[in-house]
Structure 1
Amino acid sequence: MAKGKVFSVLAAVLCGMLPAGVALAQPAEIAAMAPPAPDYADAANWAAGPAGPGAAAALPAGASAAAVNSPADVFYLHPTTDRSPTLWNQDTRDAASNRWVDESTIARQASVFSACCAIYAPRYRAATYKALGSAAHRDAAYALAYTDVERAFDWFLKNVSKGRPFIIAGHSQGAKHVGDLLEKRVEGTPLRKRMVAAYIIGINIAEGEFGRRFKQTGPCNTPAQTGCVLQWNALAAGANLPMVAGAFEKSFTDVYGQVPGQQMLCINPVTFDARRPAATTDEAKGAVPGDPGTGPMLPLRAKAVAVQCQRGMAMTYAMPGLDLKELPGGSLHYEDVALFYEDIRANAVVRVKAWGRGRR
C-alpha cells in the first residue's frame, strides 16, 4: 500500500472520519454485543478518582511535585487502547484490558495533571481498534462509548466537583468525547464558568468549528486564559505536511463544506501562546522519552524538542535519543502528551491559578 494511502487510513482512525457514502451499522447491532454498562458509584469503574489516583500517581524523575489538597479537579478520558479482535466496545470488567489502560495512558497522560488537580478518570466502553477500523461501525461504537462518558461526568459533578473548578481533558478517542462533552453538556450551562480549560489533544477540531459547533467557547490564545480549548497534533519534522493537513482538514469540509476555517486548531504545547507559534528547545521544560507502554516512565529530558504550529499541525523537531514511535505519514500521535509532559503540567497549574484569581 502506498504511503499516502496508509496515512489516509490512519487519519480516518485518528480523526474519526466517516467516508462519504458508507452506511452506519445499526445501533442495535453495537448494543447487542456491548459489555455491561459500568456503574460509576462503584470505585472499581474509575482508573483514578474515588479510591485515589491509582496509576495517575506515577511521575517521571524530574517532574514537578504533585499538588497537596488540589484546588481543582480534572475529568480525563483515555484514548483507544483495546485491540480486541471480537469486541466493538471495550469491556471495563476485563482486568488485562484495564491494566493496559492504566500503564499506557493513565500513568503516562492523566498523571500530567497531578500538579494542579485531583484526577478522575472513568473506565468506559471505548470503541476498540476493531471498531475504529470499520467505517460501518465506528460512529455507532463511539456513540455507545459516549453514553458512559456522560454518565461518568454526571456522577463526577454530583459527587465530586460540587462547585469546584475543573479541567476536562483527553487524548485521541478520549479527546473526541471531551469535545462532545463540551458541546453538549458544558456550553450553555453554568458549568462553563467553572471550566478552567478543555485539553482536547490529538484529534480533529478545526478553527472554523468555533462559532459553529462551539458557540461560546474559543481557543486558548494565551497561557493563562481560562474557559477555552487547547488542541495540537504532533507531527515529525520532515513529514509531508500538505498530505497530513489535508487529511485532517477533510474532516471539517465533509461537514461544513468549502468554507473558511478548515485548518486544525494548533496551540503550541510549549509556548501556549497564539502570538508565539514557534518554540525553541531552550523553552521546552521536559519530554518523557521512549515508546509509551508498560513499565515506569523514563526520566524527563528538558530542552529536547522544538515545535512550531504550521498549517494546524505541531511540527516537532526532536533531539536524538528520545526513541519516538513515528506512525505512517510522520504522525507522532502516541507522543502527543509525552513530548510536552512538563510543559503541559506547568501550564495546567498556571490556568488553575488564573481561574482562582478571576473568581476573587
Structure 2
Amino acid sequence: MNKYPPLVFIFLAICFFSCKSYGPVTAFQNNSPETIDFGNLAHWAAHPDKRDNADLIPGSDAKPAPNLAADVFFIHPTIYNGKGKNLRWNPSISDSILNKRVDNSTIKFQASAFNAAGRVFAPRYRQAHLVSYSTDDKDSAKKAFALAYSDVKNAFEHYLKYYNNGRPIIIASHSQGTAHGGPLIKEFFDGTPLQQQLVAAYLIGLPVPKNYFERLWPCEDPEGLNCTISWRTFKRGHVPDDRPLGDSILVTNPLSWKIDTTYVSKTKNKGSVFRNFDKVQPRRVDAQIHNGILWASKPRFPWSFLFRRKNYHIADINFYYMDIRLNAKQRVEKWLEARN
C-alpha cells in the first residue's frame, strides 16, 4: 500500500474559488465509460504533430525550435466550471466549447511556457468539475477525479509507447493537473527505471508534501535533476486559514529556484505574461517563501487596481512565465550534458 494517498484525496475539501453553489447536483454516474483513443490527435490539446497554442511564444511570431531533444507532458488545470441543470461530473472529451476554452487559456498561457524545453504533449481529459473540490458529495467527487486520472494515465501510456523512445521528460501541471500529476509520477517514475528520464516535475498550484514521493526529492537549485518543484502564490502578508501550511510542504522560489526563505526582488523576474499574451512584462513580481506558500507583492499592470484577490492561484505560472521558460530549458540542457 502507498504510504501517501493521491494528492486529490489529501486536498479534496479545498475550494480555490470559494464556490459550492453550482455544478452537478446528482450522484456521479459514468455516462462515458469508454477508453479515450489517444491515437486521435483531436484528443490532444497540444501535440508535436499538430499546430496548437502550446507552440506560441509571447511577443514573437517565432515557433519553437525544431528537433528538441526532450518532451514535456503537461496536465492542465480545471477549466470545466459551468453552471446549469443536469451537468455531468466530468464533461465529454468532445465538448468543443470547453476544448476551445482550454486551448485559449491554459494551453496558451501555461503550457507554452515549456516549449523552449521540449515537445509539448497536453492531453484532453475528462476533468472533474470545479465544484468537486467543495461538494459535500465526497464519493462522487472522488469518482470524478478517478475518471479524470484514468484519462491522464491512458494518455501518458500512449505517449510512452509511441513517442518517448528514451527521451528525457518534464512533467508539468497546474491545480487539478497537479492532483493527477502527483499520482502519475508516483506510479511511473518514483523509484522506477523511468525516474532517470525525468528532468524535473513542475507540480504547481497544489500543496505537495516534501515527502510525498519515496525517491524523488525537492529541487534545491536551478539545475537540479530528477527532482520536484512546486508553489502556490498568495499576496504578500496574507496567510490563508483554509489551506495546508507549514514547512512540511514543498515550496520552490521561481526566481531563485531554491527552497529557502530568502526574499528575491522583482528586478530578478525575467518576465510575466498577463492578459496580453503578446507582451512580456519583466520586473513586475517578486517572490519569497513563507510558511508553506509563496508570497508575491501585488504587481502593477493596466487595470491592476481592480485585481483585489489575495489568492494568486490563477497566476501561479503567469507571474513567473519567462523564468519558468528559461529554467525548464536550462534543466534539459543539464540533463543532456550529464548523459553525454
How many Å apart are 1:35 and its aligned residue?
6.6
* 2:317 aligned with 1:312: no
Q: Displacement of 1:263 after TM fit?
A: 3.6
Identity %: 32
Is contact 1:223–1:272 with CA below 8 Å preserved after alignment?
A: yes
After superposition, what is the alpha-carbon deviation per residue over 1:111-140, rounded to whole angstroms, capped at 9, x for unaligned?
001111100000001101243332422222
Greater share of residues in helix? 1
Structure 2 runs not aligned, ≥5 long: 1-10, 18-24
1:298: how far off?
Answer: 4.1
Q: Which residue is equivalent to 2:252? A: 267
1:307-346 deviations in whole A, cap 9, x for unaligned?
A: 1111121100133216568576x11011000000000000
Change (3 A) 1:322 1:206: farther
Q: How does 1:186-265 map to 2 (within 5 A)?
A: 186-207=189-210, 210=211, 213-239=212-238, 241=239, 243-244=240-241, 247-249=243-245, 263-265=248-250
In structure 2, distance between residues paired with 1:262 and 1:63: 42
Q: Any gaps of 5 or more consecutive residues in structure 1?
A: 1-8, 16-24, 250-260, 291-295
Structure 1 residues 10 and 298, CA gap change in structure 2 (3 angstroms): farther
CA distance in 2, matches of 1:193, 1:205: 21
Task: Please say if residues 168 and 199 of structure 1, whose CA atoms lie closer than 8 Å, have aligned partners that are also in contact.
Answer: yes
Aligned twin of 2:132:
131
Q: Which AA in structure 1 matches 2:54?
A: A
* Alignment partner, residue 156 of structure 2: 153
User: Given the superposition, is the C-alpha separation of residues 10 and 140 from structure 1 closer, same or farther in structure 2, using an over 3 Å criterion?
Assistant: closer
Query: CA offsets, 1:173-207, max 9 Å, x none?
Result: 00111111111221122110000000000001123
Counterpart in the other structure of 1:333: 313
In structure 2, the residue matched to 1:254 is: none
Which of 68, 74, 78 is the matching residue for 1:70? 68
Partner residue, 2:14: 12
Normalised by the length of structure 1, the TM-score is: 0.81
Q: Give the Cα separation in 2 of the matches to 1:11 and 1:315.
A: 23
Q: Which runs of 4+ in 1 moved over 4 A?
A: 62-65, 322-328
Q: Distance in 2 between matches of 1:297 and 1:206?
A: 32
Deviation for aligned residue 1:282: 1.2
Give the aligned partner of residue 36 of structure 2. Answer: 38
Distance 1:272 1:122, change over 3 A: same
Match of 1:299 in 2: 279
Task: Report the AA paired with residue 116 of structure 1.
Answer: A
Q: How many residues align?
A: 317
Letter aligned with residue 336 of structure 2: G
Match of residue 281, structure 1, among 240, 245, 266:
266
Q: Is the 8 A contact 1:88 1:127 kept in 2?
A: yes
The equivalent residue for 1:18 is none
Counterpart Cα distance in 2 of 1:135 and 1:350:
44
SS at match of 2:128: coil
Contact 1:59/1:111 (8 A) holds in 2: yes
Partner SS, residue 84 of structure 1: coil
- Secondary structure of 1:30 counterpart: coil
The aligned amino acid for 1:334 is: I
